[in-house]
Chains A and B, each alone.
Chain A
């Protein structure tokens, strides 16, 4: 049993891998809906929350109190999913929001640019080669800047993750098998102690969120 976070660039097979894994392990799968839950906690709309939270901040609008509160709401919503000790999370910043918690397997998926572009050039999206390349690079750059600003880290640094998997020659099914094997290792065992820590973390997040709301 484990909490699995999956980080990846856009169109790198993150959602499909997360869903495959959730099916194989019979875990709930959580992605962007976390934003909805976070918005509810704040009494805000999801658009407002994701807009303010995910937009790449300009040089003049650094880590504001509002952004901090929004992130805390996301963290709290995620922490609440984690108390059962079983979840596959493929949303925003899982590797940071759950950093230093036990029982968390942090995974990063990477894929060659060409492979990612193909998804945008299909009959549905109909993007040109150049447009697809620019789109992916823009999204990647935004995420890189976002992570740099919020966590002073490089999202591509493999030392942030327990496992980095390159989908260049590894299939999605194999990636799913590999991650399932990793999650079965004793390092991620859900002992009573770990469960207590996860519950304490959720309680602490809730408390901080409440204080932020009052303050």
Chain B
């Protein structure tokens, strides 16, 4: 069992690979649902959320709390699907949203431009030039997501566990390779791994709740979860520190699965 995240450019066979793996391994398949769930949670349309995430990082600096709320909500939506320990995710930014979790295999699929153009032309009536332009346009939007969320280059192989090039290999071949990989002991979902996945979901929920509450959304805090205990750390302005601390604890406590909240926040004076 494992959580497989597939990142790819458009028309690179990502969907076919995801479907093949879900079928072969009998794992649930999740893609757009995550964005749809997050959008409905945020009270905006999926398109609005997607567009917002493609904004220039420069613009986002001015709206750090909005950006944080979006990312936290998307992560929480994805975390709901991970607790089973088996998943094929081929939506946006999986390699980032799931970074650091055990039993996650982050795959990137690449294919030569010529092959991608042909795939697009098979399904749509368009010229090769406009097909290439379309592919570049979609790729650029996805790259901006990753840049925006984590300041990383989507094509950097160090972000993935495996990069498969479909120049010579086929989708069924890639499917065999990934399936063999997740059957290795590195990706075993042991009781410890399951517990970590539960912790991840709980912490993601708390993060999303804090990021979307008016009083706490300006705070940039680290949230970690372990076995029903949430630890909130970082530093925050001390203005009304007593009330703010209480607010954080109350919000975190209201999240299902949270038994205890440990507040480890350093309060500082915003007007020294």
Contact = CB atoms under 8 A, between A and B. Distances in A.
A174 interface: yes
Contacts of A178: 162, 177, 180-181, 184
Nearest to B164: A163
Nearest to B112: A159
A165 B160 CA distance: 8
Most A CB contacts (10 A, CB to CB) among B160, B168, B176, B184 go to B168
Interface string B158-187: 101111110111100100110011001110
A158 interface: yes
Interface in A149-202: 156, 158-159, 161-166, 168-171, 173-174, 177-178, 181-182, 184-187
B110 A158 contact: yes
B173 A186 contact: yes
A111 to B, nearest CB: 9
Given A112-B158, A166-B160, A181-B177, A158 B184 contact: no
Contact of A185 (B110, B162, B173, B181): B173
Contacts, number: 84
In terms of DSSP, what is the predominant structure of the interface of chain B?
Answer: mixed
A185 B177 CA distance: 9
B167 A110 contact: no
A159 B169 CA distance: 12
A27 B181 CA distance: 21
B181 A174 contact: yes
A182 B163 contact: no
B174 to A, nearest CB: 9
A185 to B, nearest CB: 4
A165 B162 contact: yes
B155 interface: yes
A17 to B, nearest CB: 14
Interface in A27-82: none
Given A158-B155, A178-B181, A170 B163 contact: no
Interface residues of A, number: 27
A177 B180 contact: yes
Given A158-B163, A158-B165, A163 B177 contact: yes
Contacts of B151: none
A108 B165 CA distance: 11
A6 to B, nearest CB: 15
A166 B167 contact: no
A159 B110 contact: yes
Interface in B134-169: 155, 157-158, 160-165, 167-169
A166 B112 contact: no
Contacts of B104: 169
A170 B157 CA distance: 14
Contacts of B169: 162-163, 182, 185, 187
A122 to B, nearest CB: 23
A159 B207 CA distance: 37
Contacts of B168: 105, 162, 187
B164 A162 contact: yes
Contacts of B163: 158, 161, 163-164
Interface of A: 105, 108, 110, 112, 156, 158-159, 161-166, 168-171, 173-174, 177-178, 181-182, 184-187
7 contacts: A163-B165, A166-B158, A178-B180, A182-B169, A184-B176, A185-B173, A187-B169
Given A163-B177, A170-B181, 8 more contacts: A110-B157, A156-B157, A158-B155, A162-B169, A166-B157, A169-B186, A177-B184, A187-B170
